[in-house]
Amino acid sequence: MAAHVCVVDDDPSVLRYMRRLLELEACTVQTFASGREILEHVGQGASPDLVLLDVAMPEVDGLQTLEHLRKNNQHLKVVMLSSVRETAKVVRAIRLGAEDYLHKPLDGAALHDVLRRCVPDGEPGVMPASREVEELPGGMFFVAGSPVMKKIRSRLEQVAPVEVPVLLLGESGVGKEIAALLIHKLSQRRERLFLKVNCAAIPSELLESELFGYEAGAFTGATHAKPGKFEVCNGGTILLDEIGEMPPGLQAKMLQVLQEQRFFRLGGRSPVSVDVRILAATNVNIAQAIKKGVLRLDLYYRLNAFTIEIPPLRQRPEDIPVLFRHFMQRLAAHYDRPELSLTDEVLDACVHYAWPGNVRELHNVVKRMVILGDKSLMPTAHRESQPNIPRLLAGAGGGHDLKELVKTLKCSAEAEVIAQVLRQTNGDRRKAAALLNLSYKALVYKTRQYGLEALSSLSSPPPVSSGVPVAGKKVI
C-alpha cells in the first residue's frame, strides 16, 4: 500500500514542492496550512503513516502542534522541518517524540531516506534487517534485533548531529559505549577522535591530571608539561564512562568545561580552550546517587540535555540470537575454530537465562564455547553463568590451547569466588574487598571484567582516601 503522508506548512510553495516529491515516491499526500488544520484532521480519527511538520508557523507553531499530536496519538510518526537549525528546538522536538528534525528545503534523497526509515514497506517503524548489525570503529558493532533497540537506534541517529551532551544509562555490560560510538559515527565529528575515559578505573587523585593535563613543576615528578584527554580529543568526542564514580570536587571542574569549553591544566595560569563533544555514561541509580552526594545535581542537569536508557539484555530477548550468531562468527574466525550452531536447546537456554552481566557476559560465554568446542557450557536459568570447572578440566585433553584453557579456568574460579563473597556481603563491595584482601579499585575492575555488577550495590562507595583536598573536601 502507498504511504499516507500529511505535510503541514504555512507556505503554499513549500506545500506544492513537497507534494511533487512525495508523489514521485508513490505516496498519498494531504497538505495543511496550519497546525490547527492537522490537529482537527487527526482529531477526527485520521491516522497518517507520517506527518511532515514545519516548525515556524503562526498561531500554533510546530512544536506546540507536535505536543498535541503526540498526546492524541502516541504512535504517530512526525518529522519536523525547519529552515533554521536551533539546538534547543531540536532537543525539545526529539523529547516530544519527533522521529527526526530536518533542514528545508528537503531534497529527493533526504525525503527518500525519511520514508525508508519511518514507513519502509508500509510497516512504520520497522528497521531493515540489513541494519540489525551495524559495524562501528575499532571492531565494535551495534545490534538492533529487538523493537526497543531499533527505537534506541533511531533516537541515537536523531541526537547524533545535535551538539548537545548525551547521558547514557543502563546496567553494566548493556552496551553504553557502543551507543556512544554510534553517536560519534553519525555525527559531524566522525572523522575526528573518539576517546573513552573510565572514571572508575583511574585512581581519583590521578583522574584530574589525566583529563586536563598538567604543567611542568605542577607536582613532584612533573618534569615536563603533558596535555590531558580533553586536549588530545580536541575536535572529537569524549565519553566519560562511569561518571558517577568521579570525585565531587572534580565534577565541579567538569561543570565548568561543559559550560565554557575551557579549563586550566594542573599548575597552569592560562585557560585552555577546546571544542569537544561530551557524552557520559553510568550504571548507578541517578536519584540515589544525587541523594547520597555521589553525583552533583548541577552536573546532572548539564549532562541531561538528552538521556537514553539502554535496557538489560533480559528485557530484549530478540537481540540474543542476533548477538549469539555475531559473536560466534567473529570469535570462531579469531580463534580459528569451527562455528557451533545455535540449536533450539541452546537458544532456549539463552532466552531463559537472566544474563546479569548482559551483553558482556553473553560474549564471554560464547567465547568459552568456541575455545572449548562445547555447547553444554551454555548457562541455564538455574545454573551460574560461570562454567563448571570439572567439565572444563575434562576438556583439557581434547587438543585445546592449554594457555587459553588455563586462563579460562583461572578467570572462572576467580569469578565464582568474587560472586560468592558479594552475595555473602549483600553486594557491599567495600566489605567484599576486605574479605578478599583486595583493594576497592581492584574489586571494581574485576566485577566489571566478569559481568558481576548486578551483585554489587550503590551502598558501598569507596573509602575516603587520606589524599588530595579538592574544593575543601577530601577526594572520595
The grid cell for 210 is 589525566
Distance CA(145)–CA(132), nearest Å, equals 5
* Per-residue pLDDT tens digits for 207-252: 989 999 888 888 877 888 889 899 999 999 999 999 988 888 899 8
Q: What residue has cell string 555473602?
A: 424
Region(s) of the chain under CATH 3.40.50.2300 = 4-126
Distance CA(252)–CA(207), nearest Å, equals 13
Long-range contact set of residues 420-424: C-beta below 8 Å, sequence gap at least 24: 422/447, 422/452, 422/455, 422/456, 423/455
Contact 79, 114 (CB under 8 A): yes
- Taking Cα atoms as reference points, which of 334, 346, 403, 352 lies closest to residue 378? 346
* Cα torsion 51, 160, 288, 149: sign: positive
- Taking Cα atoms as reference points, which of 409, 306, 293, 314 lies closest to residue 362? 314
- Taking Cα atoms as reference points, which of 437, 445, 440 lies closest to residue 411? 445
Q: What residue has cell string 528546538?
A: 89
Contact 321, 349 (CB under 8 A): no
What kind of fold does domain 133-311 have according to CATH? Rossmann fold (3.40.50)
Distances (CA, A) of 411 to 171, 386, 446: 22, 9, 10
DSSP conformational letter for 214: B
Torsion of CA 261, 285, 100, 189, to 10 degrees: 30
Q: Where in 236-285 does DSSP place strands (E)?
A: 237-241, 262-263, 272-273, 277-282
Q: 257 by DSSP, 3-state: which?
A: helix
- Taking Cα atoms as reference points, which of 359, 360, 402, 367 lies closest to residue 387? 367
Write b or e for each residue in 265-302: b if 16 or more Cβ atoms lie within 10 A of its Cβ, otherwise e.
Answer: bbeeeeebebebbbbbbbbbbbeebbeeebbbeebbeb
Q: What residue has cell string 542476533?
A: 322
Alpha carbon of residue 359 to chain centroid: 13
Q: Which phi and psi angles does 197 have, rounded to 5°? A: -120, 120
Helix axes 147-159, 87-95, angle to 10 degrees: 170
- pLDDT given for residue 145 in this prediction: 84
- pLDDT given for residue 229 in this prediction: 93
Residue ranges of the chain with per-residue pLDDT less than 50 = 122-130, 381-399, 458-476
- pLDDT given for residue 392 in this prediction: 47
Region(s) of the chain under CATH 3.40.50.300 = 133-311
Q: 436 exposed, middle or buried (CB, 10 Å; 0-12, 13-18, 19+)?
A: middle
H/E stretch holding 394 reads helix 389-394
- pLDDT given for residue 230 in this prediction: 93
Q: 72 by DSSP, 3-state: which?
A: helix
Alpha carbon of residue 476 to chain centroid: 26
Return the bridge partners of 101, or none.
80
Task: Find out if CATH 3.40.50.1100 is the number for domain 4-126.
Answer: no
- pLDDT given for residue 170 in this prediction: 92
Q: Which phi and psi angles does 209 have, rounded to 5°? A: -70, -30
- Taking Cα atoms as reference points, which of 238, 235, 264 lies closest to residue 252? 264
Distance CA(340)–CA(199), nearest Å, equals 37
Distance CA(476)–CA(461), nearest Å, equals 8
